[in-house]
Amino acid sequence: MFLKQIGADDYVRELFRPFEAQGIELGRVSFAAHEQYRVYLESGECEAVPAGRLRWEEALPAVGDWVAARRADASLAWIEGVLPRRTQFSRQAAGTAISQQILAANIDLALVVCGLDGDFNLRRLERYLVLAKESGAEAVVVLNKLDICERSEDKIRAVQGLGAQVLAISAQQSVGVLEELVRGRTVVLLGSSGAGKSTVVNGLLRQQRQLTQPVRATDSRGRHTTTSRMLLPLPDGGAIIDTPGMRELQLWAGTESLDQVFEEITILAERCRFGDCSHRAEPGCAVRQALETGALDPSRWESYRKLQREVRRHEDAAGLKKEWKAIHKALRHHPKYNRK
């Protein structure tokens, strides 16, 4: 019954069916950091170690993954398989190499938490919304610290202008407006340090589970009170995944997700006279006309162009990586390299 409370529905059980055998159990990853794992099994939570082939296949589990696990003893389990993901929230891993970092798997709802104080940043919210769209999960922007913000209506309207669903709350006072929204669902909390994610988590869990710290008065930034991703059961069913504040959020998304978040620009581009319009100096450019008349906010346009360049770099690198994988696979099966 416990696994059902945190999301093991009929769909998950059907995915697990091929793994049904003596000693194999369904589990869900509750913690993953620095190659250390914990999983929830029906009998409780325990430490876990991925099987070697998962490393070889580059299929290591992430927080929120449903897995096939085999008990080694009362305190340890082997993760022998990762079930197909419904959704996954990913970003470009920090550093220069092009690689994916999965932040959370099998999420139903992404709550993007942003403070109404100095943490407020529309451009950062756009990044989160693109990644949420790519993940396949529903996204809601939670504007926190309503009790200490003046002129909050202007900021709320600005976020609504991004096409996002918005809720404004004061997590210090109550998160009641969120409880019905998250009930029975797997929810991931995203946002920068100091946005108030840990306070929201404590409110939804109805206990002081996560540490909280005051933000700096100069810029409303906080220290990382959450240092790793973890999945926590919600009192009324479902689960919540808290994440550390991210100072670097490079896109791991495709053009389609970007265009959906910037839908008004996509619609304008379709009205341009030329299909390959660069929106710079071509005649009949609907985007340039909207910028000149004020119908399109220049900062929104510049943000779109910046994110578009990131998306194209990602798509080019991902395509090249796929080609090299195909080449390596072909070489492994080539007779010249497989002589006995």
CA distance 284 to 250: 33
Question: Do 92 and 237 reside in the same domain of the chain?
Answer: yes
Q: Provide the residue range defining the domain that includes 118.
A: 88-242
Give the count of beta carbons closer than 10 Å to the beta carbon of residue 89. Answer: 27
| 195 is a domain residue | yes
Question: Do 183 and 156 reside in the same domain of the chain?
Answer: yes
Report the range of poorest mean pLDDT among 20-24, 88-92, 247-251, 302-306. 247-251
* Number of domains comprising the chain: 3
Last residue of a domain, one of 42, 59, 82: 82
Taken in order 124, 172, 232, 111, is the CA torsion positive or negative?
A: negative
Report the range of poorest mean pLDDT among 57-71, 232-246, 308-322. 308-322
The per-residue pLDDT for range 264-285, each reduced to its tens digit, is 999 999 999 998 999 988 999 9
Question: Do 42 and 60 reside in the same domain of the chain?
Answer: yes
Quote the pLDDT of residue 332: 60
CATH code where residue 183 lies = 3.40.50.300
CATH code where residue 305 lies = 1.10.40.50
| 248 is a domain residue | no
Question: Do 307 and 328 reside in the same domain of the chain?
Answer: yes
* pTM of the model as a whole: 0.81
The per-residue pLDDT for range 103-115, each reduced to its tens digit, is 899 999 999 999 8
Quote the pLDDT of residue 220: 43
Residue 200: name the closest of 231, 173, 238 by CA. Answer: 173
Does the pLDDT at position 213 exceed 70? no
